[in-house]
Every structure is written in C-alpha cells, then in structure tokens.
Amino acid sequence: MEEKCRMKPLAECRVTVVGMGLMGASLCMDLTRGGFCREVRGVARRTDTVLEAFFSGAVDEATNDVQTGVLGADIVILATPVRTIVNTLEEIGPVLWPGTLVMDMGSTKAEIMEAMALLPEGIEPVGGHPMCGKETAGFAAAEPGLYRDAPWVLAPLARTSANALELARALALAVGARPLVVEAQRHDRLVASISHLPYVVASALVQAVAAVGAEDPLAWQIAAGGFRDTSRVAASDTHMFIDILMTNRGAVLEQIASFSTQMETLRVLLEAGDEDALCALLGKAQALRVAWKSKQQL
C-alpha cells in the first residue's frame, strides 16, 4: 500500500495543464520559467492557442488532443470552466496512469469532487481553486507571477493519499501561492459570499446605472473611481460566471437573500431618516473592511 501511494518529487514530474486561458497559461509560465518540474505540457482547444503557447515558451509541448496531452503525465491540472472539467475527468480517466495526481482549478468544487470520486482506482484526486485572477480571459491575459501570495484551496477526497496532497501543496508553493486545505462544500459556501455574490451585485449595479444613463448619458461621463471599483468584476467573462453560478446555485441564492436583507435594512433606515442608526450600520461595515484590509497587509 505504501508503494502505491509513493509520489515523485515535483522536480521529476511531467505536468500537463488542460486549458490555456488566464489561469492555466499563467501556471505554465511559472512552472517553465522556474524550472520546477521535468516537463510542462499544455492542452488547448484552439490550434492557434496551442501554437502560441508553444512558440512563446510557456510550455515544453502543446497539443489540442487532451488524451494525447495527459498520456504519461505525473500531474494533470484541469484549468477550464467547471462543467468542462467534469466532462474532461470522465474522458481522461481511462487513459491516466496509476499514481497520476489529478488537480483542477475550478471556481466551485462540489460537482468536480463528485466526478473525481469516479476516477479509476489508483488515480490521486485533489480539487483546487487558486483565489486570484483578472476580469480579462484567454491566453493573451496570462502572466507570470499571477499566483504569488494568493490563497490556493486544496480539497482532497478521503481516498487521496497524504503524499499526493503534499505534492499538490508543493506545486502551489513553487509558484508562490499559499495552499489551504478546505472541504469542498465549505469552499463553495465561502466563495459564494466573497466571490460569486460580488459578481452578481456588480452586474446589478451596472444595470441600475445603465437605466439612469439611458435617460441622461451624462451619468457615464461623470462616473469615476467609486463606480469603477464597485463594478469592476461585472466585466468578467460571462460564460465563465454562468458556469460558476449554475454549479453553485444553492449557495449563491442564499447569499443573494442575505444581501437583499442587508439592502432592505439600509432602505428602511434611509426612508425613515434614521441618521444615527444608518451611521452606526455603515460605520460597522467600514470598520470590518478596514480590519480585513489590515490583515491582508500583514
């Protein structure tokens, strides 16, 4: 049993990253430039992305055939939308070598972990979610150092060996991330609050401002830092976020309900002209935000 769970050190591993968008390509750049592993392979759907990844030096090898790309790999990392990850796991499972570490970088975890549980015996699954990114997507948006100082959630299954989890941790540390082991359901509840809710709120904000702008276009001309900062994530890839929202629907709906309650409280206080209560509520939010920011800077 001990022999079965033995893993190569990261420096000896062939790593295949499926998905050459922002997250996958940025990871490849860090791995190749840092010389952290034996070989880095990239898999992309589009042939032009395959060529760009290879000739830019982001990867050692590149292909648009996922089964070819994962064959003989020691570590396979799926960096595509969540539902694509689920489908890819089913596709590659039969061709993976025993002992392969399979990770993902999906924004939600529950459905992915259910699919990982169905991988053939001997495959080592570890769910993952690096907490970083940008509004822009695609290979052109990729950059070295994207993961530096970012939390990287790792979600092992009960079948995952300690050695496999340690290898996943080593990969995250190699690119400068801060690995955290979190259970999948807990992860999905938390990111619904800190990541998915801000997206839907920002989208609603843009729609509300657009309604004002339709009546008076000057609104767009005088919009400045406050609107820019609070609406930033609304510019994120729509298809990616539809995938996220639909695979974490229950937790996101809970957070929307909670947010709606907070907004209703603010509305009632403002309508009543209760300045003291309104000031206390907003002051509490200000203190919480300042405290969080201070911890981030430590």
pLDDT attached to residue 136: 81
Instruction: Compute the Cα dihedral for 205, 206, 207, 210 and give only its sign.
Output: positive
Are residues 170 and 195 both part of a single domain? no
pLDDT attached to residue 294: 86
Number of domains in the chain: 2
Q: Which domain holds residue 75?
A: 2-182
Pairing mode, if any, of strands 75-78 and 151-156?
unpaired
Are residues 155 and 42 both part of a single domain? yes
Are residues 249 and 174 both part of a single domain? no
The answer to whether the predicted template modeling score (pTM) of the entire model surpasses 0.85 is: yes
Are residues 103 and 225 both part of a single domain? no
Are residues 131 and 89 both part of a single domain? yes
Are residues 213 and 163 both part of a single domain? no
d(CA 69, CA 77) in angstroms, rounded, equals 11
pLDDT attached to residue 227: 93
- The residue behind tokens 């760009």 is 52
Residue 31 sits at the vertex; the CA angle it makes with 181 and 142, to the nearest 5 degrees, is: 90
Length of the chain in terms of residues written:
298
Q: Find, among 203, 295, 211, the residue nearest to 252 by Cα.
A: 203
Are residues 162 and 71 both part of a single domain? yes
Are residues 227 and 293 both part of a single domain? yes
Tokens linked to 214: 């339709």
For position 159, which CATH number holds?
3.40.50.720
The one-letter code for the residue type at 35 is G
d(CA 64, CA 19) in angstroms, rounded, equals 10
Which of 182, 205, 224 is the last residue in one of the domains?
182
For the stretch 131-170, pLDDT in tens is: 987 778 899 999 999 999 999 999 999 999 999 999 999 9
Tokens linked to 173: 């540390």
* DSSP classification of residue 271: H
Cβ-contact 147, 26 below 8 angstroms:
yes
pLDDT attached to residue 188: 97
Residue 126 sits at the vertex; the CA angle it makes with 131 and 128, to the nearest 5 degrees, is: 10
For position 219, which CATH number holds?
1.10.3660.10
pLDDT attached to residue 298: 58
Are residues 152 and 212 both part of a single domain? no
d(CA 289, CA 285) in angstroms, rounded, equals 6
Which of 129, 159, 182 is the last residue in one of the domains?
182
Q: Of all helices (H) and strands (E), which one includes residue 126? A: strand 124-130
Are residues 71 and 174 both part of a single domain? yes
Which of 167, 182, 197 is the last residue in one of the domains?
182
pLDDT attached to residue 5: 54
Report residues of the chain scoring pLDDT below 50: 1-3
Q: Find, among 236, 225, 157, 250, the residue nearest to 198 by Cα.
A: 236
Are residues 206 and 138 both part of a single domain? no
d(CA 164, CA 75) in angstroms, rounded, equals 10
d(CA 298, CA 296) in angstroms, rounded, equals 6
Are residues 197 and 159 both part of a single domain? no
